[in-house]
């Protein structure tokens, strides 16, 4: 699952996880600084750059990217065991990661979460208050690129109302699982 920072991926994923049995969210690793409301090992495994690079070398990541000034990556250990035991795994990742997953795991379903419009995205990022102005600007620039790539995705969900978008997302996932 991808979509620009501020599109509301986290909220929507939280909603559908409550409704979908047998589905888990893979926890990523990152070198970005922990925000005050985040906990080590809950939102992310927060690693130093040296730790992250060591884990790249030993092959611990299915995919990883540089986003802003930081690494983000999907841990093999968060995905493979769950898939093998028959669970569905959601990845919440940015565009390059989604493209890499599609190449490496052709059965993956790609879902794009879009904001209602660009101005709304700017407003949400500012309101969230977790990033400084330079980071927000960088994220908005990246958001333009991500929005331009929507067509590559199997499903596009516009998050204009959380309730409606959560229903649509649940439907899309159930539909995708049926096609397996």
Applying CB under 6 A, the residues found at the interface with ligand 5GP are 5, 28, 32, 63, 65, 67, 72-74, 92-94, 96-97
CA–CA distance, 172 with 175 (Å, rounded to integer): 5
Rounded least distance, CB 116 to ligand 5GP, Å: 18
CA–CA distance, 31 with 65 (Å, rounded to integer): 11
User: Backbone phi, then psi, for 53, in 5-degree steps?
Assistant: -65, -35
Measured from each CB, the residue nearest to ligand 5GP is 97
Of the two residues 95 and 166, which places its CB atom closer to ligand 5GP in the complex? Answer: 95
CA–CA distance, 167 with 141 (Å, rounded to integer): 29
Rounded least distance, CB 178 to ligand 5GP, Å: 26
Instruction: Answer whether 22's CB lies under 8 Å from 174's CB.
Output: no
Of the two residues 75 and 158, which places its CB atom closer to ligand 5GP in the complex? Answer: 75
Of the two residues 1 and 166, which places its CB atom closer to ligand 5GP in the complex? Answer: 1
119, with CB counted inside 10 A (0-12, 13-18, 19+), is exposed
Rounded least distance, CB 37 to ligand 5GP, Å: 12
Rounded least distance, CB 12 to ligand 5GP, Å: 12
7, with CB counted inside 10 A (0-12, 13-18, 19+), is buried
Of the two residues 24 and 65, which places its CB atom closer to ligand 5GP in the complex? Answer: 65
Rounded least distance, CB 13 to ligand 5GP, Å: 10
Of the two residues 31 and 166, which places its CB atom closer to ligand 5GP in the complex? Answer: 31
Q: What distance, in Å, lies between the first and last C-alpha atoms of the chain?
A: 17
């Amino acid at each position: 699952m991808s979509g620009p920072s501020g599109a509301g991926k986290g909220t929507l994923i939280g909603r559908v996880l409550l409704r979908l049995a047998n589905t888990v969210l893979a926890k990523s690793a990152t070198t970005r600084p922990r925000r005050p409301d985040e906990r080590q090992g809950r939102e992310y495994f927060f690693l130093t750059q040296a730790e992250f690079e060591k884990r790249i070398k030993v092959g611990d990541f299915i995919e990883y990217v540089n986003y802003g000034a930081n690494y983000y990556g999907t841990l093999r250990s968060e995905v493979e065991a769950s898939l093998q035991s028959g669970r569905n795994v959601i990845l919440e990742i940015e565009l390059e990661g989604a493209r890499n997953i599609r190449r490496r795991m052709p059965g993956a379903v790609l879902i794009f979460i879009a904001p209602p419009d660009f101005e709304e995205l700017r407003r949400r990022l500012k309101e969230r208050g977790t990033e400084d102005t330079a980071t927000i600007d960088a994220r908005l620039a990246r958001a333009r690129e991500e929005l331009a790539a929507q067509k590559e995705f199997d499903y596009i969900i516009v998050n204009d109302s959380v309730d409606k978008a959560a229903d649509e997302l649940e439907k899309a996932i159930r539909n995708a699982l049926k096609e397996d």
